[in-house]
A and B are shown apart, each in its own frame.
Chain A
Amino acid sequence: QVTLRESGPALVKPTQTLTLACTFSGFSLTTSGVCVSWIRQSPGKALEWLARIDWDDDKWYSTSLKTRLTISKDTSKNQVVLTMTNMDPVDTATYYCARTLRLGLEYYFDYWGQGTLVTVSS
């Protein structure tokens, strides 16, 4: 059974760095074609893809946020970590991690965590 769970602070102050962890089970991030992505959703807004890390440790980022984002994995812990620097109130959102499967050139998010709400406020 595939599960993902996001964890991290519920509240961060402006200019601080946010660190979120995605702890998963039911699959391995060493298996070819398996990736994990981070997606966020500001209150009442649409989904925004942030980053993806692949089984071979390739990393991909949102164009607009790539200078602030770092994604990494710890396969021994079955964990993917996302850091976002210089947080701003506009970064207030629910942050989701999702298993991302590659089939050929197809990449799709087949399992999602329940999301974690991060509020940026002083």
Chain B
Amino acid sequence: DIVMTQTPLSLSVTPGQPASISCKSSQSLLRSDGKTHLYWYLQKPGQSPQLLIYVVSSRFSGVPDRFSGSGSGTDFTLKISRVEAEDVGVYYCMQGAHLPYSFGQGTKLEIK
């Protein structure tokens, strides 16, 4: 099974400042369709997870453009250009390249 490793596990950011989360997979997430199947989800406090980013860098419907994803192969990054209060929660990367799907440990974002 593929292991997903996120760093850092927690992050405290001043509103308006950028934030960055790293995610590494134990195997390449590149599939035969030429796409890399890495996803980012955000679980806000007391809520179910919600999809932010799919196939590395595509923002899901309604996701603000301050969120961006990048990376390739086994190394990926989620960036928030200017953190807002509503961005608090736990961010998870997930690989959808190979069953069983697997998530990272999560990165908790707090506001300073």
Contact = CB atoms under 8 A, between A and B. Distances in A.
Are A and B associated in one complex? Answer: yes
Interface of A: 37, 39, 46-49, 52, 60-64, 96, 104-110, 112-115
B35 A105 contact: yes
Interface of B: 1, 31-33, 35, 37, 39, 41, 43, 48-51, 54-55, 60, 92, 94, 96, 99-106
Q: DSSP majority for the A interface? A: strand
Nearest to B46: A114
Contacts of B43: 47
Contacts of A62: 100
B48 to A, nearest CB: 4
Given A106-B55, A108-B96, A115 B48 contact: yes
Contacts of A115: 48
Nearest to A51: B100
A108 B39 contact: yes
Nearest to A97: B48
Given A96-B48, A109-B51, A110-B51, A47 B96 contact: no
A46 B54 contact: no
Given A104-B33, A106-B35, A48 B103 contact: yes
B100 to A, nearest CB: 5
Contacts of A114: 48
B48 A46 contact: no
Nearest to A4: B48
A37 B99 CA distance: 12
B105 A46 contact: yes
A77 B74 CA distance: 41
B34 to A, nearest CB: 10
23 contacts: A37-B101, A46-B103, A47-B41, A47-B49, A47-B106, A49-B100, A49-B101, A105-B32, A105-B33, A105-B35, A106-B35, A106-B54, A106-B55, A106-B96, A107-B96, A108-B96, A109-B41, A109-B49, A109-B51, A110-B51, A110-B60, A112-B49, A114-B48
Interface centre among A37, A49, A62, A64, by most chain B C-beta atoms within 10 angstroms, is: A49
